[in-house]
Amino acid sequence: MAKKVLKFGGTSVGTIDRILHVANIIKKEHEANNEIIAVVSAMSGKTNDLIQQSKKISDNFNKRELDVLLSSGEQVTCALLAGALTELGLKCKSWLNWQIPILTEGENLNARIINMSILKINEFLSQKGIVIIPGFQGISRDGDVTTIGRGGSDATAVAIAKIFNSDTCEIYTDVDGVYSTDPNKIPVAKKIEKISYDEMLELSSLGAKVMQPSAVQTAMMYNIPLEVKSTFTNRKGTKIFNQDNNIDYTKSVTGVAYSKDDAKITILSVADKPGVAANIFEPLSKNQINVDMVIQNISSDLRTTDITFTIKRDDVAKTINILENNRNIKYDDINYNDKVSKVSIVGAGMVSTPGVTYKMFRSLADENINILAISTSEIKLSVIINEDDTLKAVKKLHTIFELD
Ligand code: ADP
Ligand code: ASP
Ligand code: MG
């Protein structure tokens, strides 16, 4: 007997037929004598629909109420799945965020799970009951409903695996594992049998939507092994775990990721003296604007410089507004390009393979792709390029690093 956390994503519960199919997966696991906690997402598209509805009222919809609205998607799937399991003759119950409760801290739309109450649920599990819990949400100390960021049901599943000390945490989704790049965009992508937390964290932070980054981070912190697998086939999935002593260095690059929600801002001719960069970035950080890459060019007069940095595309208007109202900086002009994307190669084997950087730049040049910014770490190399070149770049890098 094992205690299992099974998480089902939006596509997996996207229709009534699929919910019935998921109920059968859970039934089999339960009949194999396992204790099951199922974590569910909203039906695919539902959370986006709810956001669109709020936007029809205001682009600046009250965040507390937005969390009440967005959390409703998961409530629907919880009830439908629990109802379906009951129809199959199984003992089953859904628990909503406030009924458990799942305690969070942090601001609305971006809260973090910090604890939850386990007694009632453990008791129900010990009576052979199946537990269904909504992903993506919790309640604050004040009792307000909160959500924990897009794709957050992954993080709920990992938090539950940790707090309930489960034996497995299985992420059921619409692909049968983690691939070398998005298999829906690049069909020659290859499934990765096992991957380290570090590599998975880089891939997901750099755009591989298959796992949510904060879920991977929590799993890494508490050493919770994850398995990503398909709701629709029985093929073996991908195991994500600590591979400190077991890293496969035969391949320099494990995967290629990309994100298309980036923007690049350049401030022209700011003074080249101590404190200027701090004056630029301090108000951005105070306003929760996440700056990704920063490049500074020395200008020919050696007195002024241009500073370029990248941010999320949604933050462009806010960032420019902050810069324009910043009395502590002087510059000639600000320009921006919000049609850029970030393409990254990730691999623990990169550290020990010389020439990876050169190979990446050469192959992009061969495709006539201009690099607008570069950032590196031990196990990843990212470039900002024009958005139109994204898939061409991903394909080329996938081939050149022998991942096809
Ligand atoms: P869920 O709704 O189950 O949480 P998501 O849509 O969040 O599923 O994540 C699964 C999707 O992630 C896949 O359909 C695939 O298009 C995308 N994806 C992006 N990069 C990768 C990758 N490297 N491996 C697998 N899937 C990926
Ligand atoms: N329904 C939420 C979202 O679409 C959470 C999730 O699916 O993981 O972001
Ligand atoms: Mg997801």
Over residues 325-351, the mean pLDDT reads: 94
Question: Rounded to whole angstroms, how far apart are CA atoms 291 and 384?
Answer: 14
Q: Are 383 and 342 in contact (CB under 8 A)?
A: yes
Give the pLDDT of residue 245. Answer: 63
One-letter amino acid at 240 equals I
Pocket test for ligand 2, best of 13, 46, 47, 209 (most atoms within 8 A of CB): 47
Over residues 378-396, the mean pLDDT reads: 96
CA of 369 to the centre of ligand 1 (A): 26
Q: Pick the ligand that lies closest to the CA of residue 199.
A: 1
- Fold matches, 3-174 and 256-400: no
| CATH code, residues 3-174 | 3.40.1160.10
> 179-221 pLDDT, tens per residue?
999 999 999 999 999 999 999 999 999 999 999 999 999 999 9
> 262-285 pLDDT, tens per residue?
999 999 999 888 899 999 999 999
Question: Rounded to whole angstroms, how far apart are CA atoms 159 and 161?
Answer: 5
Count the helices and strands in the chain (H runs, E runs): 11, 18
Residue nearest to atom 15 of ligand 1 (CA): 182
Q: Are 268 and 331 in contact (CB under 8 A)?
A: yes
Q: Provide the whole-model pTM.
A: 0.95
Q: How confident is the model at residue 247 (pLDDT cuts 50, 70, 90)?
A: low
Over residues 298-309, the mean pLDDT reads: 84
Q: Is the CB of 214 under 6 A from ligand 1?
A: no
Residue extents of the structural domains in the chain: 3-174, 256-400
The answer to whether domain 256-400 has CATH 3.30.2130.10 is yes
Give the pLDDT of residue 92. Answer: 98
Question: Rounded to whole angstroms, how far apart are CA atoms 401 and 190?
Answer: 12
Q: Is the CB of 178 under 6 A from ligand 1?
A: yes
Q: Are 172 and 12 in contact (CB under 8 A)?
A: yes
Give the pLDDT of residue 109. Answer: 96
226-230 and 238-241 as β-strands: parallel, antiparallel, unpaired?
A: antiparallel
> 40-53 pLDDT, tens per residue?
999 999 999 999 99
Question: Rounded to whole angstroms, how far apart are CA atoms 179 and 257?
Answer: 10
Give the nearest ligand 2 atom to 154 CA. 8
State how far Cα 268 lies from the chain centre. Answer: 33
The number of residues making up the chain comes to 404
Task: Return the percentage of the chain with pLDDT > 70, whole number.
Answer: 98
Give the pLDDT of residue 303. Answer: 85
Over residues 327-354, the mean pLDDT reads: 93
CA of 341 to the centre of ligand 3 (A): 20
Residue nearest to atom 4 of ligand 1 (CA): 9
